[in-house]
Amino acid sequence: MAEKNDDYVIDFISGQKLRATPEEVQAVQPFARILVDDYGYPKDVIQTRPQWRVKARPSDTKKEYPVDIAVFSDASHSDETLSIVVECKKKTRKDGMTQLQDYMRLSKASMGVWFNGNERLFLAKREHDGKVEFYEIPNIPRYGERLEDIGKFKRKDLRPAESLKSTFKAIRNYLAANAVGITRDEVLASQMINLIFCKIYDERFTKPDDTVRFRAGVDESASNVAKRIKDLFTVVRKQYSDVITKSDSIDIDDRSLLYVVGELQLYSLMESTRDAVGAAFEVFIGPSLKGGQGQFFTPRNVVQMVIDMVDPEPDDKILDPACGSGGFLVEGLRYVWSEIEARGAKYGWPQSEIDSEKQKVAIKNFFGIDKDSFLSKVAKAYLAILGDGRGGIHCENSLEHSSEWSSKTRNDITEDAFDVIITNPPFGKKLAIDSEAILKRYDLGHRWKQAKDGTFEKGVVLDKQPPQILFIERCISLLRPGGRMGIVLPETIFGMPKYRYVVDYIRRQGRIKAVVTLPEDTFQPETHAKCCVVIFIKFEKGEVFESIDPYPIFMCETKWCGHDSRGNPTIKIDERGEQVLMDDIPTVAAEYKRLMSE
């Protein structure tokens, strides 16, 4: 969205200062950005301010209706070149459709969009027997395309989505209001994940010049689109039968399915700046459901920063012991794959050898655990479709003794075995582990008392302990000597006196290489927890805290995370008058590597 202060915004298109009304902040500015970033429309064919006006009735010479966003076929901005009108003020779908039809009826615009910040509707207009008719369409064309081109995408035509979360929000609200027989968020989430897997599979296994199957054309019936998608899901389910079972199915009604496909079809989810599965979970599994278990999905810029700082290599054995839907593992896999591709290019490997090496790494070196059966199943399917890394995902409680795990998990996950751990363990004010069987296994499950000389002495088992504290010890125990860890933790662990014993414990197990504090908005709107990222290297065998030399620790405070407390992008105007995303996080890893190499 546009740059924002408490009482005004800078319009994304015109650069004018506007009052920060709810519809301006939540709808007009976000959709103007979507038109540019996702649909490719140049700013000079879009008009927001001054508002373009259209007739309210045939005799209206003053053009009484102001249009929130007007899109033209060229930069001339005339009645004849008006192509699309966007209505953002009406809050309900019914009122939005009525207002949109009024704008379109007496103008030259052949298409219209209603968007209220949460839902959207696409309309087209045609004249038949002297009457104007309106009909819903799956989407609007991208810049340079025609209405009839919608749904005729080749794989190479797909583009990364910049506003994926807003797209999923629109889908979620449409389904909640319109899907027949499905209303609960958990069921909608399951259906959405099945469709995302269809989309990713279609992207991965469609040749660049071939037409994708995950599409919906303007004149296609809902039943035809639904059949094609369900046939695609049958292929996906058969290919990954050990992950996606016969009981899994696409149960959304045909019309709702058409809407979902229409919203997603122009994007490449695999190439998008945001993790598609994670973004869908954030929208469909709301904070009331996931927050109770401390399951707050890590923003992709934070995940990428952690992975860049830990710098995993193709031969590293990698684990996320609180993997959720697999976000850290997916980004870690992409990072390692890029290393393999660079190695292959350097040594002139054929593409088949590069692909074989990438698949081997996914199967042999990537592992995850999550105690939520649904999330672990999603992570397994996600890694299977991306790179056949499904075998390394296990549904277990990471904090339990390994004797409580299945034999396969015990074979895959052993102590002192992993080169790299990347994770964001569950945390929350109301979360606590109170099982004595678990607590007594951990040094950090005990009470610690600081002596006069500053050392800490272990006491009795605690009644309860937040899970993130126990996860620190668990992760360290799973690392091999010399192994690296990137972990997201509440900042209170490093700032509150009552947790000094935890910091002392970490220091006595290895070197704290970096502490990066994250802005308070980072995990909002899901949680207000102030967090930091810790980079840690476990001591080699024979090393002890008392005998090591002093070493530098990279300390960094990031001010901007790319979004505000509502989840909307934070934008500033630079000295050239261009809008720039305010996000410090992507710059951290390079600075860390530079300073650590000196």
- 159-217: per-residue pLDDT in tens? 888 778 788 888 988 988 888 887 777 788 888 888 988 998 999 899 999 999 999 99
pLDDT above 60 for 287: no
pLDDT above 90 for 487: yes
Provide the pLDDT confidence category of residue 403 given band limits of 50, 70 and 90: very high
The pTM for the full model equals 0.76
CA distance 327 to 370: 12
Write the CA distances from 565 to 278, 519, 560, integer angstroms: 18, 10, 11
The token pair at 521 is 């908005």
What percent of the chain has pLDDT above 90? 65
Q: Which helix (H) or strand (E) holds 407?
A: helix 407-412
3-state SS, residue 136: strand
The residues spanned by each domain of the chain are: 8-150, 164-268, 299-431+465-545
3-state SS, residue 517: strand
CA distance 338 to 148: 38
3-state SS, residue 435: coil
Q: Measuring CA to CA, which residue among 450, 400, 399 is closest to residue 426?
A: 399
pLDDT above 80 for 575: no
User: Which residues are CB-neighbours of 495 under 8 A, at least 6 positions away?
Assistant: none
Amino acid type, 567: G
Looking at residues 262-275, what average pLDDT do you find? 83
More confident: 295 or 481: 481
pLDDT of amino acid 285:
65
Provide the pLDDT confidence category of residue 328 given band limits of 50, 70 and 90: very high
- Residue 370 CA, distance from chain mean position: 18
For 460: left if phi > 0, alpha if psi spans -120 to 50, otherwise beta; the answer is beta
8-150 — its CATH code? 3.90.1570
**Poorest-confidence range of 116-130, 494-508, 515-529?**
515-529
**Poorest-confidence range of 36-45, 58-67, 546-555?**
58-67
Domain 299-431+465-545 has CATH 3.30.70.20: no
More confident: 286 or 178: 178
CA distance 6 to 52: 26
pLDDT above 80 for 400: yes
pLDDT of amino acid 488:
96
pLDDT of amino acid 246:
83
3-state SS, residue 112: strand
Amino acid type, 149: D
**Poorest-confidence range of 47-56, 286-295, 473-482?**
286-295
Q: How many residues does the chain have?
A: 598
Looking at residues 377-382, what average pLDDT do you find? 83
pLDDT of amino acid 292:
47
What percent of the chain has pLDDT above 70? 94
pLDDT above 90 for 129: no
Write the CA distances from 151 to 111, 127, 163, 512, integer angstroms: 16, 23, 20, 51
Whether the domain at 8-150 and the domain at 299-431+465-545 fall into the same CATH topology: no
Looking at residues 31-36, what average pLDDT do you find? 94
3-state SS, residue 481: strand
Q: Mean pLDDT across the chain, nearest whole number?
A: 90
CA distance 196 to 176: 18
pLDDT above 80 for 333: yes
pLDDT of amino acid 341:
95
pLDDT above 80 for 272: no
- 547-563: per-residue pLDDT in tens? 999 999 999 999 999 88
CA distance 555 to 212: 47
- 218-255: per-residue pLDDT in tens? 989 999 999 999 999 999 999 888 778 888 899 999 99
pLDDT of amino acid 273:
62
Looking at residues 507-528, what average pLDDT do you find? 89
User: Which residues are CB-neighbours of 339 under 8 A, at least 6 positions away?
Assistant: 313, 314
